[in-house]
Structure 1
Amino acid sequence: MYLIKSPLLLKWYYPSLTWHKNRSDKVIYLTFDDGPIPDVTDFALKTLKAFDAKATFFCIGDNIYKHPEIFENIKNEGHSIGNHTFNHLKGWATPDEIYLKNFQKCQELTKTHLFRPPYGRIKKSQIAKLRSAHPDTQIIMWDVLSGDFDISLDPQKCFKNVIKHTGNGSIVVFHDSIKAYDRLKYALPKVLQHFTQQGYHFDSL
């Protein structure tokens, strides 16, 4: 069970987290979780470049360790990097000390001020401890979830999810993962084309 549009209740419960950007600007913030992954991240980078679009890649430390050359390609293309923990830990199910150590292990590779909790699940105690240790860190959530990770979702439906709910300042989640690849291949170029034709700009966080 997941929601395409982030509910107001969650935004109310976690008001200090970043759910979207300025609603007055025709700018969309595409984000990619779980990479870098061979072929999938490469496809995302090639597609973004074709539309002169910038994005933010929330990387898993273990995947950076396995695919350092792809990680360097992300940076060389001018995209932003975010921390997504070293082992994709679910905050709700992980003791705070272990969670923070896993964040730090990834941080040694990413060296970024951006963090997205895997699954969007993080305890308030983890937020407090993370910010105490790393005051400059911005915790980035989203207001539009493409659903590309859902293997039962039709690729066209994935595209429509984004088109229907995205607007000024939206932070949109895609995944540069093997599981998401079929839907990403279909939806990403169409999303870029659709919103480019409507005068939107794609920027990194």
Structure 2
Amino acid sequence: MYLVKTPWLLKKLYPELTWDIRSTDRCIYLTFDDGPIPIVTPAVLNILKQYNAKATFFCIGDNVRKHPDIFEQVKTEGHAIGNHTFNHLKGWKTDTQTYLDNFLEADKLLNSPLFRPPYGRIKREQIRVLKAAKPNLHIVMWDVLSGDFDMALKPQDCLKGVLKHTEAGSMVVFHDSIKAFKRLEYVLPGALEVWSKEGYSFNSLQL
């Protein structure tokens, strides 16, 4: 069970986390979790390029280690980079020291002030310890969860949900993963086409 639109109450309970970017600009912030992955991440980069869109990629450290060439491609094409732990750890099921160590291992490769906890699951103590270890850290959540990881979700329904809930300032989560690719390759160009016609721009996160 997951919510496509993040409830306002959850944002209020965790005000120290970044959920969206509210401004007068007509901008949408696209984010991609779990890469870099061969075939999938390059396909995403190609789609983004077609729409002159910049995005933020929250990378798994071990995937960066395995696919450094794709990681370099993401950076070379002008997208922002974020930390997604080294092994995609679920914070609620991981002790704080192990979580911190895993974050720091990924940080050696990523060196980014942006972090997104896998599954959006992180304990308050983990938030405190990570920010103490890296004072300039921004923990980034989301406003809209695409559901592209849901293998039971039809691509058409995934697109409808994303278009329904995204607005100016929204931070939308996609996944450049093999699991999500069937929905992602349909939803991403479809959404970008609609949003572009509506006058939106697409920027990477600069926090």
Q: TM-score, normalised by structure 2?
A: 0.98
> Hey, what does 1:82 align to over in structure 2?
82
After superposition, give the CA deviation of every residue in 1:104-153 in whole Å (9 maximum; x if it has no partner).
Answer: 00000001000000000100000001111111000000010000000000
Matches within 5 A, 1:70-149: 70-149=70-149
Distance in 2 separating the partners of 1:23 and 1:169 = 7
Q: Which residue of 1 aligns with 2:150?
A: 150
- Which amino acid in the other structure matches residue 176 of structure 1? D
Alpha-carbon offset, residue 186 of structure 1: 0.3
CA distance in 1, matches of 2:174, 2:145: 7
- 1:25, CA displacement in angstroms? 1.6
Between the aligned partners of 2:64 and 2:182, the Cα distance in structure 1 is: 22
Aligned residue pairs, count? 205
Indicate the residue corresponding to 1:21 in structure 2.
Answer: 21
| Distance in 2, Cα, partners of 1:33 & 1:53 | 17
* Structural RMSD (CA): 0.6
Matches within 5 A, 1:11-50: 11-50=11-50
Identity of aligned residues (%): 61
Runs of 4+ in 1 over 3 A off after TM superposition: none
Deviation at 1:9, TM superposition (A): 2.4
Alpha-carbon distance between aligned partners in 1 of 2:198 and 2:86, rounded to the nearest angstrom? 37
Q: Report the Cα distance in structure 2 between the residues aligned to 1:42 and 1:191, rounded to whole angstroms.
A: 18
Segments of structure 2 that go 5 or more residues without pairing to the other structure are none
- In the TM superposition, residue 24 of structure 1 has moved relative to its aligned partner by 2.4
Q: What is the aligned partner in structure 2 of residue 61 from structure 1?
A: 61
Return the alpha-carbon distance in structure 1 between the equivalents of residues 62 and 163 of structure 2: 32
Question: Post-superposition shift, 1:23?
Answer: 4.2
Name the CA distance, whole Å, in 2 between partners of 1:106 and 1:184.
25
TM superposition shift of 1:60: 0.2
Distance 2:183 2:35 in 1: 16
Partner of 1:193: 193
Taking the aligned partners of 1:23 and 1:188, their CA distance within structure 2 comes to 23
